Structure 1
Amino acid sequence: MNLIIALLPALGWGLMPLITGKVGGSPSNQIFGIGAGTTIIG
């Protein structure tokens, strides 16, 4: 179970480009959104 919990951030970071690609926007907006979201969550 600890291994699954440890891998969740890596899975989320790997799926983020797919999710932002579906939402749309320019690549710079996507990168800014990922950075802002990560900062808020962190």
Structure 2
Amino acid sequence: MEIKKFVIPAQAAIQTLIFQNCLKVSLISNHWIPAYAGMTE
């Protein structure tokens, strides 16, 4: 029986982790948007 191994390039794995972290931040910060000077009237 032949066992096939799947290799994921390290860069792809790192990009996936970065994407997941950005997604978490965007989901958390979705309820609060900081107001900067000039944004409010």
TM-score by length of 2: 0.42
**Which has the greater radius of gyration?**
2
Name the structure where helix makes up a greater proportion of residues: 1
Larger relative contact order, structure 1 or 2 (CA cutoff 8 Å, min sep 6): 1
